[in-house]
Amino acid sequence: MPVKIPPKKGLSLGVVGFITAFGIAAFITEQELLLVWIIGIALGFVLYRSGICFASAFRDIFLFRDFSMARVVIILIAISFVGIVIIQAFDTSGGFLEWVYPVGFHTAVGGVLFGFGMVLAGGCASGTLQRIGEGFILFWAVILGITAGSVLGVYHFSWWKNNFFSIDAVFLPDFIGWIPSIVLTLALLGGLNLLAMGIEKRNNSKNGLTEKDLAEKEVKSNG
Amino acid sequence: MKNGRTFKKRILSGYWPYWVGGVLLGVLNILLAALGKPWGITGNIAKWGLAVCKAAGGHPETWFYVWDEPLNLGLIDLLFSRGTVLNLGLIFGVMLAAVLAAEFRIKKVKSSRQLALGIAGGLLMGYGARLALGCNIGALVNGIASQSLHGWVFGLFLILGAWAGSMFMKYLVSKTGN
Amino acid sequence: MADNRLDMLGEVCPVPLLTTQKVISEMKSGDVLTVETDYSRTVRNIIKWCDDRGYVFDVEDKDNGVWLVTIEKK
């Protein structure tokens, strides 16, 4: 049995101390911020323990033919979708329309640059924060890069929006109706999930391994 | 090599399965949406950049952009804004989890190549996220979940970019050894 | 049988797994590779890859947040 090396007590106390102190300060500023702070801590905790990384979801498809993380992202989107549709249904003020942003050529350019950048850096935006929390000095440089790039992006945004195709926010239910939009979203997410599962299965059988083989191997190595 | 099995068992009990993480993140995201706006990360980072610009004498508040709320670049206001509290919380939540598991460690920068890739990747991500009005979380997850077309468009082109990046990294590792 | 060592301290995904794959592809059957890493996700990635390929592996805690992953090429 490998011996578990004990945690550094001083460091644990320091982290817990800061979390408490900032929580109190946030609560004094605005009560709701304490709730946001707790949700933020929970997000970080879950991200670390489960090892979810959005950059790897897209990168590992191509580098390692691994679709497991991509499927987690689909699950995350589907769950968020169900919850948000319910919120949208009960929200009569239409405040949720603020989450719907313009779309156009700038969205496509932004997507390509973001996708390329996150693979180079080794983490997307949440991954960068996550790795700072894990102690990577490198990701302090990455976040400085993100900050500088963001300023430039805000500065150039109007040029991209004015000179190329762009339309104001497209909220799908306004165009095709609520039911078709909900059905379409769920169908696309489900279809992508099935596609990922299908390719994964084909890859396994290419390696000469079926799920049954993998299960047998597991039993053998346990014995 | 028996430890491998034991370790895997332990890491699997200590590390949650991916889908559990996905479900929990989804629930937390819905909670945030119920509090007014779903999860987002880079908008707040951009505001910090603009605040620095302003402190240096610039006038970033006059630049045209689609903000989620009226732009307020006062440092204390920004520190106790939802976005900053959420991002800082994420960093410290990760740190808490790592420290409690005795896995926290300061990781040094490995090489100047790694640093250059990191800075270049960061610049591209920051610029791209602002053009697309969000990152993986804000544009992809919550764009699609809010039934906004920009989420799907962003996702499609994100895959293209990630493919190009993957090929580039593969080339780099095969050329240089590591 | 030869012993190989790979220092992946401070490296982030996907470099550790890509390099591991490259080194292993140049090794002979029965050779052993030890990868030293300080990134928990790297351990998880390598373990999953070894499992998919049917390689035998071992993981050892070296220090707070440092692991030694030993892989034997089949």
Per-residue pLDDT tens digits of chain B, which is 178 residues long: 555 656 655 554 467 888 999 999 999 999 999 998 899 999 999 999 999 999 999 899 899 998 888 888 889 999 999 999 999 999 999 999 998 888 888 999 989 999 999 999 999 999 999 999 999 999 999 999 999 999 999 999 999 999 999 999 999 988 875 5
Dist CA B98 CA B94 (whole Å): 6
| Residue A221, pLDDT score | 41
Closest CA of chain A from C27, distance in Å: 20
The tokens of B177 are what?
Answer: 């050894």
The answer to whether C30 faces chain B, any CB pair under 8 Å, is no
pLDDT digits (tens, 9 = 90+) for C3-12: 788 899 988 8
A200 touches chain C (CB under 8 A): no
The DSSP H or E segment spanning A141 is helix A138-163
Chain C: nearest CA to B59, how far in angstroms?
Answer: 37
In chain A, which residues have pLDDT < 70? 1-7, 205-223
Same-domain check for residues A97 and A177:
yes
Residue B106 in contact with residue A133, Cβ under 8 Å?
Answer: no
List the beta strands (DSSP E) in A38-188: 103-104, 166-167
**Which of B76, B77, B127, B160 should one mutate to test binding to chain A, selecting the residue with the greatest count of A CBs within 10 A?**
B127
In C, minimum Cα distance to A216 occurs at C54
- The reply to whether A132 and A120 lie within a common domain is yes
Residue A131 identity = R
Q: By C-alpha distance, which of B124, B168, B131, B127 is closest to B153?
A: B131
What pLDDT is attached to residue B11?
A: 56
Q: DSSP letters of chain B?
A: --HHHHHHHHHHHHSPPHHHHHHHHHHHHHHHHHTTS----HHHHHHHHHHHHHHTT--GGGS----SS-----HHHHHTSHHHHHHHHHHHHHHHHHHHTT----B----HHHHHHHHHHHHHHHHHHHHHTS-IIIIIIHHHHTTBHHHHHHHHHHHHHHHHHHHHHHHHHHHH--
Which pLDDT does position A219 carry in this prediction? 44
Give C-chain residues touching B177 at CB under 8 angstroms. 19, 22
- Residue C61: which of A4, A123, A138 has the nearest Cβ? A4
Note the pLDDT tens digit of each residue in C32-72. Answer: 999 999 998 898 889 888 888 888 888 888 888 889 999 98
From chain B, the residues in CB contact with A189 under 8 A are 144
Same domain, A11 and A112: no
Given an 8 Å threshold on Cβ–Cβ distance, is A84 in contact with B39?
no
Given an 8 Å threshold on Cβ–Cβ distance, is C11 in contact with B110?
Answer: yes
Q: Are residues A67 and A167 in the same domain?
A: yes
Beta strands C32-37; C3-7: pairing state: parallel
Q: How many angstroms separate the CA atoms of A191 and A195, rounded?
A: 6
Q: pLDDT value at position B174?
A: 85
At B7 the pLDDT is 62
A77, B25 contact by CB (below 8 A): no
B19's CB contacts (< 8 A; 6+ apart) are A72, A75
Touching check for A120 and chain B: CB below 8 Å? yes
| Structure confidence at residue A180 (pLDDT) | 95
Cβ contacts of B91 on chain A, cutoff 8 Å: 44, 129-130, 132-133
Among candidates C15, C43, C57 on the partner chain, residue whose Cβ is nearest the Cβ of B173: C15
Q: Which residues contact A173 (CB under 8 A, 6 or more apart)?
A: A181, A182, B147
Question: Domain of A190?
Answer: 51-221
Asked if A46 and A91 sit in the same domain, the reply is: no
Minimal CA separation from C2 to chain A, in Å: 24
Q: DSSP code of A208?
A: T
Note the pLDDT tens digit of each residue in A103-137: 999 999 999 999 999 999 999 999 999 999 999 99
Q: Is residue A28 located within the same domain as residue A68?
A: no
Q: State residue A24 phi and psi, 5-degree precision.
A: -65, -45
Residue ranges covered by each domain of chain C: 3-72
Those chains having 3 or more beta-carbon pairs within 8 angstroms of chain B are A, C
Q: Does A3 touch chain B (CB under 8 A)?
A: no
Task: Return the number of other C-beta atoms located less than 10 Å from residue A105's C-beta.
Answer: 15
Write out the two tokens for A189: 């997410």
Rounded to 10°, the helix A125-134/A105-121 angle is 30
CB contact under 8 A, A122 and C12: yes
Contacts of B45 in chain A (CB under 8 A): 125, 143, 146-147, 150
How far is A196 from C55, CA to CA, in rounded Å? 25
Report the number of distinct structural domains present in chain A.
Answer: 2
Strands A166-167, A103-104: pairing kind:
antiparallel
C65–A contact, CB cutoff 8 A: yes
Q: Which residue has the higher pLDDT, C21 or B12?
A: C21
Burial A70-86 (b: 16+ CB within 10 A, else e): bbbbbbbbbbbbebbbe
Which CATH architecture group holds C3-72?
A: 2-Layer Sandwich (3.30)
- What is residue A220's predicted lDDT score, i.e. its pLDDT? 42
CB of C9 within 8 Å of a chain B CB? The answer is yes
Residue A136, chain C, CB below 8 Å: the answer is yes
C-alpha–C-alpha distance, residues B99 and C6, integer Å: 26
> Where along chain B do its domains lie?
1-106, 108-178
Q: Which chains lie within 8 Å of chain A at 3 or more CB pairs, if any? A: B, C
Angle, alpha carbons B40-B118-B41 (nearest 5°): 5
Provide, as residue numbers in chain B, all residues whose Cβ is less than 8 Å from the Cβ of C40: 15, 103
